Structures are given as C-alpha cells and as structure tokens.
Structure 1
Amino acid sequence: MYADLHIHSHYSDSTRSPKEIVKRARELGIELLCVSDHNTTAAYNELIPLCKAYDIKLIRGAEISASFEDKEFHVLAYDFDFENKEIIDICKQCETVYADMDLELIKKMSVDYTEISLEDFNSYKRNLKNGGWKGFDYLKSKNLVNEVPSFFKHISDHHIKLENSFPSIEHVINVIHKANGKAVIAHIGETMKNNLIEIEPLLTKLKNMGADGFECYYTTHTEETTNVLIDFCQKNNMLITIGNDDHGGFNNRSNVIYEMGAIKVDFNKLNLKDIEILG
C-alpha cells in the first residue's frame, strides 16, 4: 500500500478540490492519504465521505506554521481533535500572520507600482482554482509575480517585518498533544537546505521538545537526508512519514515538481504507530 500524508487542497493554497485529490490518489494507486492544509481542517467535511466512496484510507491532519531558531518551520498535526479550541486558535493566529504579511507587502509595493493599491487588494476575490493565497494571486493578476520564490523576493526586497509572529514550535507541539494528536516535523531537509551539519543537532532538540516524528521521505530531500532522518527515527522509535507536498501544480518550479506519487514508498517502511487510520 502506498501513502501520501502531505497534500493540500484549495481550502488552503492548492488548485485541487477534495474530490480532485481523491480521484487523483485513486489513479496513482495511493491507498492512504492525509490532506494537511495550512492552518485549517476545512476540507474534511468533504474528504471523509469521498474517501469512503473511493475506498481510500484517511488520516486526519493539518500543517501548522511555527517559529524555531529564527526560521519558519511547519508541523504536521495528525489524528487530533478538530474541535479543540487551542488548535483552532493557533491556526487562526497563523492565518493572521500570513494576512498581515500580504497587507504590509501591498502597502509598500503600491508606492512603486501604480497598478496596485490597498483598496483594490481589499476588494479582490481570489480564484481558488489558481491555488496560492490572496496576496500571491492578486500580484500574479498584475503580472508582478509568477512562481512562489518571486513573491518572497518581494517580501525580502521590501523588508517586510511583522509585529506578530508564528507561535513557537514547542508551543505548537504542546497544543497538538493537548488535542490528542501527533506532531511530525515537516520537510526539515528542505527547510535547512539539506545541510546535515545543521540538521542533525536539530533532531535531538526537536525530539526533546516533544516531536513525535519526522517527515523522512519528501520531494526535495536528498538520499543522505532521508537516511539520516530514518535512522534517527528508528533509533528513537519515532514516527516516519512520507509527503510530496502536492499543491495541484501551484508550487511547482522549474527544477522541482511537488506532485502526489512523485515519491512512492511502501507503507511497511513507515512508522505510523498510534495514529488512527479511517477506513
């Protein structure tokens, strides 16, 4: 059985609806999936009956943003109580940070680009089929960005600094645990540019903070990074997961394709202990 436990829907920043995700998973022979939208679980009202209809097993989840050592990290929350107030609040906090980032960028760019304004941005309606988020979609409609890196180049070039920040990764892990979930650190290889000198000391730190596992198999992880993560998880009896970070093509780049099925790993190579699998 093949699994993909890191997929996004148009409820966050993918081009795909839940139905399109499930149909695509069936076409690719993926029998276990998790839609881990950014800071929301809105897709699950549709997903649960769809997976049952298509005979696909499902793990409930979300991807929550966090700060750690001056970097933005992402934590995959699996099998948690969706109605837990602290989870809901922390997701809203993260969404506010992203929304504030959009507003500050548009304010600053409107000084240099007469075709955009804060008033125009506020009235803009995002097309879910485009993927991404409102700020990106708006700037793309003005031909000011194309791929995701071009958006964040504007963030850097315009020195966007926010008063509010993402919650600490330790706090995110604790909140997930209070909601009876499991906390898996997403794509640490990509976050740290596959620099094992920097990655290896972080693994013990994150484990001591309560992380339950690592996303070992990931689109941009090198073989060396994957092997180090698997070895660490096996030695410490931690969760081992896989994800391709599929956004329906939205986040594909000239040199990286994030697609369901890009990495296929047999279910037996994963460690999903104590995670409820629906279906």
Structure 2
Amino acid sequence: MFHQIKVKNKKQGLIDLHTHSTASDGSFKPREIVLLAKKIGLRAVALTDHDTVKGLDEFMQAGTENKLETVPGVELSAHFEKGTLHILGYFLDYKNPTLITKLKKFQQVRAERNPKIIKKLQALNIPITYEEVIAISGGGQIGRPHIAKVLLDKGIVNTFDEAFQRFLKKGGPAYVEKEYISPKECIEIILEVGGLPVLAHPFTLHLENRELEVFVKKLKTWGLEGIEIYYTEHTQEQINFYLYLAQRFNLCITGGSDFHGEQKKEIKLGFGYGNLRIPYSLLEKLKEVYYAKYRDRFIRNQKTRTKSL
C-alpha cells in the first residue's frame, strides 16, 4: 500500500481520525489511545468506536489533561448488499439521550449476533466458548475481532486476517448477518446530534468507480459531509479516485489508521502500516465546515476547552 502525502509545513503536525478502544473492539483503553498519540507526536486524534460512544468521556478528559486535541466520534454500520458500509460521525453531541438510546439498540443487535457466531464455529468442531470471548473483551462491546483473537490465541488460525478469511467474513461459514439500518438513517442519526457524517474506507463497498461515484452522489443528497481518503489499506490509485470524488461533490477529506491495538498489531496509530501521513490541515478544514453549520456549539466547545487547558 502507498498513500504518503506531502506535509508542506512539518510543524503543522499529523493526526489520526479513525481509532477504536476497549469500548468497542480495540485493545487500548480510551485514555491509553490519547497517551500513545501524545507519545508518538500526533497533534490530534479521534475516537470512533463501533456503534457506541461509551469511551468518549474518558477519551475527551484525557485529551484535556494531556493537552492533546481530541475529536469525539463514532462509526455506524449500515446495510449494504455488495460490501461493508460504515459511516463515521465527528463532533457529534455524544451525550445526547436520543443518540444513546438508538446506539443501545445497535448494541443489542450485536449482543444477539455473537452467540450465533460461536454456535456456528462449534458446529465446525472448533473448540471455542462465548465465555472465552467475553474474557478478552475488556468489558467493552463484543464483536468479531474478539472472536478472531480467541481463534488466534488458541492456534486455530495463524493470523488475525486468517480468522476472518476462513470463518468470519461476509459469506464465511461462521458469518451471521445482523440487522442493519440504512445508510440514509446512519447519516440522519449523526446529523440529528450535530455531527459531520463521513464515508469510511470506500473500498469496502466493493463498487466499481462509476458505481461508487453514483452512490456517493446519493449519500451527498442525504447529508454526507466527507470521505475518508487516507486509510491504512487504500492504494494510491484508490486515493486518486477518492480525491476526485471529494472535489466533484465538495466533500471534506479525512483519514485514519483504523487502529485497534493488539487486535491488529500490524496497524500502528497514526501511521497504519508505516507509511500513512495525515496532515492537521484536514482537521482544520473539517472544523471549518462544522463551524459553518454549528457556529454557536463550536464557539462554546472551544471556550470550554480553552478554560480546561
């Protein structure tokens, strides 16, 4: 993979706008992500756990305490026949009661799905129990990465990716479809709580370029504000086309590693496989759009942050 971009002003700093903590399927606690980001010299980091905002209080507080810019986020899963569709939401009001209620429903769907996956694995004569999966989850929301970790730890597979390719991916022998909401509903949920919706890792949609262009146009009409262009697994060819889409539909450009910690050891915070470079200027542009749409909230948040620092 190659996706290094030139950072004109080296003092500007680098960022990572796609990370996961123990609140969903990562191995680092929210606070630990902030401390690691500070240690490696990132200027800003966002927490975007799957279908949950439970880690954001700890994450934002850690950012204030360590004088590191932190961005509250979430990653919602939507129904999409051809591939996997995730919508990232940034700057959302993560304490909004309506949002929390809706996310609890998503989490319930996940909770009902996981034991079914375990039963399918057991039917394949694989020695795994749900209790083993719970034990390594760290008390967070359980997902397929936790199941993959157990398979890896037990020597059933040799790599994390092998667990997905052999058993857990869509269409795999242990895959269980879950009830998803529509892409339009994902965007609406984020907009309702003052967030900016962004299409995550477009390559997972498994669409040809022309199909993707048509689909992104539709997402834009529903309120999409950005597209994740710089990502751990994007090729330069994909990046070039996504840049075209961003310009074509006036979308913000974002980027992130999709850091999960020990769950995906090869993916490093801020740098992906080692060559990811995401400049702070992308976050500045994202904040400009947020400011334009939610000026009063932006000013209030900035004042609160300044007082804390």
TM-score bucket of the superposed structures, by smaller chain? 0.7 to 0.9
Name the CA distance, whole Å, in 2 between partners of 1:207 and 1:58.
26
Name the CA distance, whole Å, in 2 between partners of 1:151 and 1:45.
31
1:76 partnered with 2:88: yes
Deviations 1:185-238 (A, max 9, x none): 11112x146853443332212212221110111111122222222232234332
User: Partner of 2:49: helix, strand, or coil?
Assistant: coil
Relative to structure 1, is the Cα distance of residues 39 and 141 closer, same or farther in structure 2, using a 3 angstrom cutoff? same
1:105–1:158 Cα contact (<8 Å) kept:
no
Candidates 119, 124, 135, aligned match of 1:125: 135
Partner residue, 2:58: 46
Percentage of identical aligned residues: 28
Candidates 251, 261, 274, aligned match of 2:289: 274
Name the CA distance, whole Å, in 1 between partners of 2:182 and 2:101.
14
Q: Bigger shift: 73-82 or 243-252? A: 243-252
- The offset of 1:134, in angstroms, is 4.3
Partner residue, 1:260: 270
Deviations 1:89-117 (A, max 9, x none): 44233333333332112212223327345
Equivalent position amino acid for 2:94 in 1: F
Partner residue, 1:241: 254
Partner residue, 2:103: 91
Candidates 70, 73, 90, aligned match of 1:61: 73
Partner residue, 1:187: 201
Candidates 160, 165, 175, aligned match of 1:147: 160
Name the CA distance, whole Å, in 2 between partners of 1:43 and 1:175.
19
How big is the alpha-carbon RMSD for the aligned residues of Structure 1 and Structure 2?
Answer: 2.9
Partner residue, 1:171: 185
Deviations 1:222-277 (A, max 9, x none): 22222222232234332211111111142246xxx353234223222553033357
Name the CA distance, whole Å, in 1 between partners of 2:78 and 2:257.
20
Between Structure 1 and Structure 2, which shows a larger proportion of helix residues? 2
Partner residue, 1:201: 214
Relative to structure 1, is the Cα distance of residues 34 and 154 closer, same or farther in structure 2, using a 3 angstrom cutoff? same
Name the CA distance, whole Å, in 1 between partners of 2:77 and 2:114.
16
Equivalent position amino acid for 2:59 in 1: L
User: Partner of 1:184: helix, strand, or coil?
Assistant: strand
Q: Which runs of 5+ in 2 are unaligned?
A: 1-11, 291-297
Provide the TM-score with structure 2 as the length reference: 0.76
Relative to structure 1, is the Cα distance of residues 104 and 207 closer, same or farther in structure 2, using a 3 angstrom cutoff? same
- The offset of 1:173, in angstroms, is 0.5
2:17–2:255 Cα contact (<8 Å) kept:
yes
Name the CA distance, whole Å, in 1 between partners of 2:225 and 2:17.
15
Equivalent position amino acid for 1:173 in 2: I
Q: Where does structure 1 differ by over 4 angstroms across 4 or more consecutive aligned residues?
A: 131-134, 276-279
1:35 partnered with 2:47: yes
Relative to structure 1, is the Cα distance of residues 71 and 86 closer, same or farther in structure 2, using a 3 angstrom cutoff? farther
Partner residue, 1:20: 32
- The offset of 1:69, in angstroms, is 3.8
- The offset of 1:121, in angstroms, is 5.6
Partner residue, 1:218: 231
Provide the TM-score with structure 1 as the length reference: 0.83
Q: Which runs of 5+ in 1 are unaligned?
A: none
Partner residue, 2:118: 106
Deviations 1:172-193 (A, max 9, x none): 101111111111011112x146
User: Partner of 1:220: helix, strand, or coil?
Assistant: coil
Between Structure 1 and Structure 2, which shows a larger proportion of strand residues? 1
Equivalent position amino acid for 2:241 in 1: V
Q: Bigger shift: 152-161 or 209-218? A: 152-161
